[in-house]
Amino acid sequence: MADGRIVNERGLGCSGRGHGRRRLIVSALPEEQAPLRRRMGVGVRGKELEEVNGVWLGVTGDGALSASRKLREFIRRAQPDHIVAIGLGGGVSEALPIGALVEGCSVRLAGSQGRSSPLHRWLENPPHIGGQLVSTPRILGSAIEKAALWHELGRPASVVVDLESWAYAQVAQDAEIPMSVLKVVSDGAGEDLPFEVVASSRPDGSIRRSSVVARALCNPSSWRHLSVLRRRLNMAAQRLADVVQEALLVSKSLE
């Protein structure tokens, strides 16, 4: 810690700015970066890793195992000097509204006894919230589970939970590449996720989509809640595309 800031070995902390010339933007799901890909002229369901005007776009798949394995592969192929992970996250702090944009200052693994990894700050302009990211081995599907995690962490103001950020951060740290994480809150702290989603989780935390559909077909009333989540996913992806597009322009002007 220096001057009250968390700093890693390369001097890149939450208050640092990332202006790398060779940037890799990754997400777990293709839908999370679909609007960005369209704006950059890349097929939404194209290659899992593509370069457009010096920016690499990659989709790792969900769950920590796939995230770690694919990011290592992408780093070998793209040789980036800055990684930006974007996507959805679950709200853990009660004050975080659905749709809030959170830029991670640090990430930790749930149950890791306070160990955390600092993240590199990239965004120049508000509105966004600086917050803590926590990765869990499986989806936290209930408000009770999210509340328990929030209290375990000491009830901080801004905490978002996901599956992949810790895995991404460890790979980036091993490669000595600064990493930023941008998350949009898809489900609030007091909200339960649909049973069809939670029950379709694999041991590594990833979701079997075919299982979600099959379970929903057996329970037609669930389609309404699933449709709400789909709309939130689409809106979040648009928000992320707006923010990333602006940040890329700002970074380009400073390079």
| d(C-alpha 152, C-alpha 204), whole Å | 23
In whole angstroms, give the CA distance from residue 196 to residue 225.
10
- The pTM is what? 0.87
Cβ–Cβ contacts within 10 Å for residue 1, how many? 8
Backbone angles phi, psi at 97, to 5 degrees: -80, 160
**C-alpha to C-alpha distance for 252 and 172, rounded to whole angstroms:** 22
Q: What is the pLDDT of residue 204?
A: 85
Query: Structural domains in the chain?
Result: 23-191+236-254 (3.40.50.1580)
Average pLDDT, the chain: 87
Does the pLDDT at position 61 exceed 60? yes
Tokens 């559909």 sit on residue? 213
d(CA 162, CA 182): 11
Structure tokens at 186: 């898809």
Residues in the chain: 255
- pLDDT 10s digits, 203-219: 888 898 999 999 989 98
Which two three-digit tokens encode residue 18?
A: 């990332």
φ/ψ of residue 227, rounded to 5: -65, -35
What is the three-class DSSP state of 41? coil
The CA-atom distances, in angstroms, between 194 and each of 21, 35, 38, 143, 188 are 41, 25, 29, 12, 13
Q: What is the pLDDT of residue 44?
A: 66
The SS3 assignment for 10 reads coil
Answer whether residue 16 shows pLDDT above 70. Answer: no
Q: Residue 106: which H helix or E strand, with range?
A: strand 101-109
- pLDDT score of 169: 97
Q: How much of the chain is helix, strand and coil, in % rounded to 5?
A: 35, 25, 40
Q: Which pLDDT score is estimated for 43?
A: 73
CA atoms within 13 A on the CB side of 35: 16
The amino acid present at 41, given as its one-letter code, is G
Q: Which comes out higher in pLDDT, residue 27 or 45? A: 27
Nearest to 215 by CA among 193, 194, 191, 234: 194
pLDDT above 90: residue 5: no
Residue 7 has pLDDT above 90, yes or no: no
Supply φ then ψ for residue 89, to 5 degrees: -150, 155
Find, among 19, 23, 12, the residue nearest to 74 by Cα. 23
State the Cα–Cα distance between residues 108 and 119, nearest whole angstrom: 11
